[in-house]
Structure 1
Amino acid sequence: MSLENAYLNFLGRLPGVAEPVKRLTFKDKLKWTGAILIIYYLMTQVHVYGIAETGYEYFRTLEILLGSSFGSLMTLGIGPIVTASIILQLLVGSKLIPWDLTTERGKALFQGTQKLLAILFSFIEAFAYVVFGAVPARSPDFVPLVVLQLAIGSILVLFMDEVISKWGFGSGVGLFIVAGVSKQIFIKALNPLTQGGGLPDMANPPAGLIPYSILSLSAGQPLEALLSLMPVIATLIVFFLVIYAQAIRIEIPLAFSTIRGFGRRWPLKLLYTSNIPVILTAALLANIRVMAKILSDKGMKILGTFDANGRPIGGLVYYLMPPNSQAISGFMIFIGAFALIGALFIYFTKKRYGLKFIVLMGMLGAVLWYSISYMLGLTSLIAISSEDILRLVTYSSFMIIGAVIFSIFWVSTSGMDPKSVAQQIDSIGMQIPGFRRDIRIIERVLERYIPPLAVLGGAAVGFLAAFADFTNALGTGTGILLAVMIIYQMYEQIGMQHLEDMHPAVRRFFGK
């Protein structure tokens, strides 16, 4: 037996979740998805035994990106899964590991190795978090116990992800991100109580932005009420911009080779690789932030320096975080709002030169923000420092370049390359009209579109994520973008696979 065969045999012995033996109905998948979601929320409430009471508050800002809850069994969240995926995609996509992912053997090697790496990283990250102080143990005697609990929690997440992928809707990684984002939006927007849990008044306002704006209006402070609602408005703008971007696509006409007069169109979206590039880029950035804080606490400032509250104040990590100010937030919200108006106008009127018009509308929004702020004498809302501009550039560049790189690698490792898609089209007996039936012809046609879409789609989704973060949207801009894209994907998946299982009232929701 060759070494590769022995390794493949070992991967096959790893514990896993069995595939369903029969087709699952809509209700079956809904039950499994709901059950895993309940287990996820319960795990976020189960605190790890033996950890210190304080020491990990800074890392709570990363919980949304990692689908985690620091201090609980969900401390590591999707971190080990995504880290394993990042490393393996870079190795396979760059051909350092020469696996042919178009074959069943190559896919088995890739998926099995990804699971093995995720299990290993569960222990490695758990050890690093505990030993270097991200989630400190109460005493040295508790270190092994805390590491074991964190690793077990992460491995459970790995199997929960498998359950969702095989028995539910979408993926566990996406579901946990949506759950974390939804929780943050609900609390930050609607919480009627104070930060301490008491009844609110003007001296001690409610934590939720909507109750706070209502209280400000009742106290005769309309401007304060409007400014407090800006993150809510930003969230809605990001939501609709992402929905619009998801709908942009080109369609390749296809015809059945055996049935004359019948055909269909094969859609290729602008966001061809969907949210995967942003998930991987955001997770990479979250890992950099965690490592920077851990090293800083140990006296090594090579990645960044932090103040007493754990906020970055210098170094690489400082310039890899979006600036947070009302001036930038308002500026971006007005740009986004007017760009959205332009996009809707183009959509409903079917006008040409759509992108140019949308850009012009965005520029109009920027001019209006500065004009209104200047006329009202709110100079603080138009003052953006050169340092913040530099942070805008560095953060945007990281998100865009990272998303492009991961988009390219994802196409080559997930069966979305021209050759794999051509095989899918040929397997269902379809061809390009006007050409003879030949898989090589289909592949050449797809090569005109898929590689450019991988780059453009990665850049577009990276830009959208950075823009969303600059708006200061609830649940972080990247979190909102990911949540919307994940829910939209689930909506499309359900609509394609389970319409016949649904109640007629539910079916109408899917436009059928």
Structure 2
Amino acid sequence: MSRILEILAPAINLIPEVEKPIKKILPFRSRAMWTAIVILIYLVASQIPLFGVVSNAGADPFYWLRVILASNRGTIMELGISPTVTAGMVMQLLVGAQILNIDQNDPVQRSLYEGSQKLLGLIIAFFEAVAYVWSGMYGDIEKVGYGNALLIVLQLTFAGIIVILLDDLLSKGHGLGNSAISVFIAINICETIIWKSFSPITYPIPGFEKEQYEGAILNLFHSLFAIDNKFVALQNAFYRSHLPNLASLISTALIFIVVVYFQGFKVDIALKNDRVRGAIQSYPIKLFYTSNMPIILQSALISNLYFFSQILYRNFNGNFIVGLLGKWSIPEAGGSHMVPVGGLVYYLSPPHGMIEVISDPLHTILYVVFILTTCALFSKTWIQVSGSSVKDVAKQLKEQGMGLVGSRDSGLKSHLKRYIPIAATFGGLCIGALSVVADFIGVIGSGTGILLAVNIVYGYFEQFKREKEQGTLTF
């Protein structure tokens, strides 16, 4: 075990944690209840405004990150899952690079590893909170006051502790799924879809006398009653450009169905159990072998590039090098975020609708190549640092006493090598392609968000089905 974790042990022991349940598997009703409580706490926290904020106006510099970080601007959930996710990725990279040597079968080492991840998440939450306040996101530091600035930092840090504890609650087996992080992402995205479908807020639309509802479904009925020409009413409901429309809603449902269909693509490898004579079971290798990780890493990369480009453009918008990196503007129709209109970030951003896809082919080609390449590379790299490579899987199966049917131990590794690298690379490519298609056809939210939500929800469906087959779905 790494000496670093032993040194951190006293500090790790001070971090609160959730005890494991007494029973190995709790009744389904109990787990569903705790999951509902976790979701309720997250939704409430996402609506509680930060105390001490002077100004929250202007373009949101973290708009592009909020989908994958399940955060809500101006609330105590401002940081979202960012500290926890960042801490988890850093720890996995340290283990994958063998800087930290952890034996996951040793309960003491595993406990120290999990505790150090929580400690790192808490430290990241604190420094992110300080950076947010110092950058002027909540108003000029002199207007906010040092007392209120300290209160904002404490609120955000405390919210980080709450997220860590909620994640610990589900990962220890008290709730459904393995992590609250996935629940928060899915809830945030699903909430956006529902809001964009039924939002009662009205906005003025050019060419129409009356204001229109933001919600696509609500606007359909309103248009049919308020507009005499029913053809114009349907055209507006399906294709209006400044607000969510029915075409976007149908596209979202279509992508949902396609992703679920691709989830069924897998290769089953027949394995024998050396400890139980005649026992044979299958080991599935899915097309989406690395699940959501390629698109999450790619989104985090491009979102951070957007963020730094915006900051540079605001302060040095006349600089030639800064202009090459990216030029930004706020849409004429208004909005809480800036959009790229030139430079590198423009060509790495998704085209807005099929008209822009056709009218600017260079933008389209560069964007598609960038997404597909980065997703494939991230997916292939992730299996090396996350313990899911051919070598790691073969070692895990061997420790469990599993072997390839009709072959010796050496045959298992070579057999896995035929499928895992291809599934990782091609699966990442497919994830990127689906994200591109989703952005092109104009889904609600973003292609990345829809893919994340579908994969997470489908994972819960698989867990429900698996527990039902194993007879552990007790109420």
- For the aligned pair, the TM-score class normalised by the smaller chain equals 0.7 to 0.9
* Residue number in structure 2 paired with 1:508: none
SS at match of 1:53: coil
SS at match of 2:284: strand
* Residue number in structure 1 paired with 2:13: 13
Cα deviation 1:194-219 (Å, max 9, x = unaligned): 249xxxx9611111112223344453
* Residue number in structure 2 paired with 1:368: none
Aligned partners of 1:79 and 1:283 also within 8 Å: no
Number of matched residues? Answer: 441
Decide whether aligned partners of structure 1 residues 236 and 286 sit closer, same or farther in structure 2, where only a CA change above 3 A counts: same
Cα deviation 1:81-122 (Å, max 9, x = unaligned): 2333444445554x3736467765876676444333322221
* Residue number in structure 2 paired with 1:156: 162
Tell me if 1:431 matches 2:433: no
Aligned partners of 1:56 and 1:135 also within 8 Å: no
* Residue number in structure 2 paired with 1:40: 42
> How many angstroms does 1:307 deviate by?
2.0
> How many angstroms does 1:30 deviate by?
0.8
Cα deviation 1:217-249 (Å, max 9, x = unaligned): 453213333323210111011101110111111
* Residue number in structure 2 paired with 1:139: 144
* Residue number in structure 2 paired with 1:22: 23
* Residue number among 282, 307, 332 corresponding to 2:329 in the alignment: 307
Paired residue type of 2:293: I
> How many angstroms does 1:413 deviate by?
3.5
Structure 1: which 5+ runs fail to align?
329-382, 505-512
Decide whether aligned partners of structure 1 residues 210 and 307 sit closer, same or farther in structure 2, where only a CA change above 3 A counts: same
Q: Which stretch shifts more, 265-274 or 291-300?
A: 291-300
* TM-score, normalization by structure 2: 0.82
CA distance in 2, matches of 1:413, 1:212: 48
* Residue number among 53, 64, 67 corresponding to 1:64 in the alignment: 67
* Residue number in structure 2 paired with 1:396: 368
CA distance in 2, matches of 1:311, 1:174: 28
Identical-residue share of aligned pairs (%): 35
Decide whether aligned partners of structure 1 residues 163 and 135 sit closer, same or farther in structure 2, where only a CA change above 3 A counts: farther
* Residue number in structure 2 paired with 1:223: 235
CA distance in 1, matches of 2:28, 2:393: 27
> How many angstroms does 1:46 deviate by?
0.8
Paired residue type of 1:207: E
Structure 2: which 5+ runs fail to align?
240-244, 332-337
* Residue number among 250, 254, 264 corresponding to 1:233 in the alignment: 250
Aligned partners of 2:438 and 2:447 also within 8 Å: yes
1:31-430 matches, within 5 Å, as: 31-55=33-57, 57-58=59-60, 59-60=62-63, 62-93=65-96, 95=97, 97=99, 99=101, 104=106, 111-136=114-139, 138-141=143-146, 142-166=148-172, 167-170=174-177, 171-195=179-203, 203-218=210-225, 219=227, 220=230, 221=232, 222-227=234-239, 228-257=245-274, 262-299=279-316, 302=322, 303-308=325-330, 310-327=338-355, 384-386=358-360, 389-430=361-402
CA distance in 2, matches of 1:140, 1:248: 56
Decide whether aligned partners of structure 1 residues 6 and 430 sit closer, same or farther in structure 2, where only a CA change above 3 A counts: closer
Cα deviation 1:157-200 (Å, max 9, x = unaligned): 2222222222222221111111111111111112244249xxxx
CA distance in 2, matches of 1:234, 1:206: 20
Aligned partners of 1:467 and 1:477 also within 8 Å: yes
Paired residue type of 1:495: K
Aligned partners of 2:271 and 2:282 also within 8 Å: yes
Aligned partners of 1:277 and 1:458 also within 8 Å: yes
Paired residue type of 1:304: G
Decide whether aligned partners of structure 1 residues 400 and 82 sit closer, same or farther in structure 2, where only a CA change above 3 A counts: farther
SS at match of 2:75: coil
SS at match of 2:269: strand
* Residue number in structure 1 paired with 2:335: none
Decide whether aligned partners of structure 1 residues 41 and 320 sit closer, same or farther in structure 2, where only a CA change above 3 A counts: same
Q: Which stretch shifts more, 280-289 or 74-83?
A: 280-289
Q: What is the CA RMSD across the aligned residues, in angstroms?
A: 3.1
* Residue number in structure 2 paired with 1:3: 3
SS at match of 1:431: strand
